[in-house]
Amino acid sequence: MALLQSLQSVLGTRLLALTEDLGELTLEVAPADYLAACELLRDAPELKFEQLMDLCGVDYLGYGGDEWETDAVSSEGFSRGISSTAESFLGSPGRFNWSDRPQGKAQARRFAGVVHLLSITLNHRVRLKCFCADSDFPVLPSVCDIWPGANWFEREAFDLFGIIFDGHNDLRRILTDYGFIGHPFRKDFPLIGNVEVRYDASKGRVIYEPVSIEPRVTVPRVVRNDSRYEQASAELALQTKRPD
């Protein structure tokens, strides 16, 4: 593949990994090489990635765990969530007793920044991944000077994942409320939240209360006895009874 060869040639030893899956290329670089790699991706004549399409954060805490692997599903209700007493309920990040929450301090390569780039000139795309060196205090260089459109994307990744983008000229929250504590997309954050917010007409103001809902996992359930399957079964029966 011409693009793969160009990436290997231009980035050279800066490449930690370069993989192709489902026709998509993903490359990984170290934090120390992040800015230099981005400049090469933008400026190299054989690459010309002029446009940053997206930048997001990823939390790899508990990566590979699957909380959908469960047979503890009810037959009632729209969501058919599993029971909160099911053993599998507490098996993965996001579904836990807060006192037993997963801790990411000892985990290397927990947080990563992921950038999706487009070359308008050459009509090709690539995904760039860079893991933060420190999971306790995740930091990556800001690419706003290379692609100004990264400004709000980096603010979003900071707000939701707590990734600091060094060199960003206005790094502040963009989605959560004023005074919000924590970063909602971290997997060590309770999925039901910490407080409920509602307007109290009698007090004439917004009040904060303990969370009243219980977390649960919604498990897909395939119904195989509806009319579509009955019709298919009837047609198959007729076909088997027909003489050759």
What pLDDT digit, counting tens, does each position of 147-156 carry? 999 999 999 9
Domains and CATH numbers, the chain: 2-62+102-191 (3.30.460.80)
Q: Where do we find the tokens 């004023």?
A: 178
Contacts of 244 (CB under 8 A, 6+ apart): none
**Residue 61 — very low, low, confident or very high, per pLDDT cuts 50/70/90?**
confident
What percent of the chain is predicted at pLDDT more than 70?
73
Main-chain phi, psi angles of 55, to 5 degrees: -140, 130
Token code pair at residue 221 = 């359930």
Cβ-contact 68, 219 below 8 angstroms: yes
Question: Residue 140 has what pLDDT?
Answer: 97
With 0.75 as the threshold, say if the pTM is over it: no
pLDDT higher for 228 or 159? 159
Q: State the pLDDT confidence band at 85, using cuts at 50, 70 and 90.
A: very low
The predicted-structure confidence for 162-217, as pLDDT tens digits, reads as follows 999 999 999 999 998 877 888 989 877 777 777 888 999 999 999 989 888 876 65
How confident is the model at residue 196, as a pLDDT? 87
